[in-house]
Amino acid sequence: MADKVICITSGKGGVGKSTVTANVATALAMKGYKVVAIDADIGLRNLDLVLGLENRIVYDIVHVVEGVVPPEKALVKDKKTKNLYLLPAAQTKDKSAVKPEDLVKIVEELRDKFDFIFIDSPAGIEEGFKTAVTPADTIIVVANPEMASIRDADRVVGLCEAMQKPEPKLVINRLDPKKVARGDMLDVEDVLQVLSLDLLGVVPEDKNMVSYINRGEPAVLFEDSIAGKELRNIAERLLGKEIPIPKWTYSEGFLEKLKRLFGSE
């Protein structure tokens, strides 16, 4: 499989890079693929929290770079999902502790042993971002439907182009159909008008997401989670299956129509 090393990035912080990484990696592991998620956000690690593995970390990526342990030894095995491994970031060092060539070396060592390697990129466009993108075969850009996020994502796409990477794929995260219907949020078309990328998926806003993250259980583990369902679809699309992207439209209920008619919120 050619597209085995996937980097997830966004430019802007807080749009859901780590959440998407954790969920898509978990979804693929649930399907039986051997998956490793590498946290490249050195100094501000949180992929371990989203996966619920924070209390099992002994060695991290900086130990691997320094040669203290081989990569396999630093991997943390997920207790809930078989086949899922995490290579955690160091919390005590900063981005300069891992150079692009170090990450390329680690990825090359892991490449034969895994079906998929996910790299969770840090926010920003400095060296940490470059380190995370360098080894990647495929890049996924996560953007929220808001101008600030879109502009940052656009910048990142430009930088990836300059690094001669293939055109990134787009995941729109935290779309709220209710707000779109009211005209308070940009819709998918508006985002695509600026970014003009291949759309890999649209993840709707899910009010339970915060609690999933706090509990350290990815949303894809829950059948009833609306965001989880779409994240599972994204994993399927990465495998090459053609699943149509649902139209996230919202129609007002009878009561809401009535309320609007009488001008009360």
Shortest approach of another protein to residue 152 CB, angstroms? 7
Q: Which is nearer to another protein, 104 or 125 (CB)?
A: 125
Shortest approach of another protein to residue 261 CB, angstroms? 25
Alpha helices in the chain (DSSP H): 17-30, 47-51, 61-65, 71-74, 100-111, 127-133, 147-162, 177-182, 188-195, 209-215, 226-238, 254-261
Task: Check if the beta carbon of residue 75 is closer than 8 Å to that of residue 114.
Answer: no
Q: Kindly state whether residue 147 participates in binding another protein, applying the rule CB under 8 A.
A: yes
Q: Which is nearer to another protein, 11 or 52 (CB)?
A: 11
Given candidates 104, 194, 221, 245, which one binds another protein under the rule CB under 8 A?
194
Phi, psi for residue 217 in degrees, rounded to 5: -125, 115
Q: Kindly state whether residue 159 participates in binding another protein, applying the rule CB under 8 A.
A: yes
Q: Kindly state whether residue 157 participates in binding another protein, applying the rule CB under 8 A.
A: yes
Shortest approach of another protein to residue 245 CB, angstroms? 22
What is the secondary structure of 125-183 as a DSSP string? SSHHHHHHHTT-SEEEEEE-SSHHHHHHHHHHHHHHHHTTPPPPEEEEEEE-HHHHHHT
Given candidates 7, 84, 98, 150, which one binds another protein under the rule CB under 8 A?
150
Q: Kindly state whether residue 154 participates in binding another protein, applying the rule CB under 8 A.
A: yes
Q: Which is nearer to another protein, 147 or 163 (CB)?
A: 147
Two tokens at 204? 């709707």
Task: Point out which span in 73-81, 105-113, 134-142, 144-152 binds another protein (CB under 8 A).
Answer: 144-152
Q: Kindly state whether residue 155 participates in binding another protein, applying the rule CB under 8 A.
A: yes
Dmax over Cα atoms in the chain, in whole Å? 69
User: Please, is 93 exposed, middle or buried when counting C-beta atoms within 10 Å of its C-beta (0-12, 13-18, 19+)?
Assistant: middle
Q: Kindly state whether residue 211 participates in binding another protein, applying the rule CB under 8 A.
A: no
Given candidates 78, 120, 152, 206, which one binds another protein under the rule CB under 8 A?
152
Task: Point out which span in 156-164, 212-220, 228-236, 252-260 binds another protein (CB under 8 A).
Answer: 156-164
List the strands of the sheet with 116-120, edge to edge: 76-77, 84-87, 35-39, 116-120, 5-9, 138-143, 169-175, 198-204
Q: Kindly state whether residue 193 participates in binding another protein, applying the rule CB under 8 A.
A: yes
Rounded distance between C-alpha atoms, residue 152 and residue 259, angstroms? 38
DSSP character for 223?
A: T
Task: Point out which span in 27-35, 106-114, 152-160, 254-262 binds another protein (CB under 8 A).
Answer: 152-160
Query: Where on the chain is the footprint of another protein (CB under 8 A)?
Result: 147, 150-152, 154-155, 157-159, 161, 193-194, 196
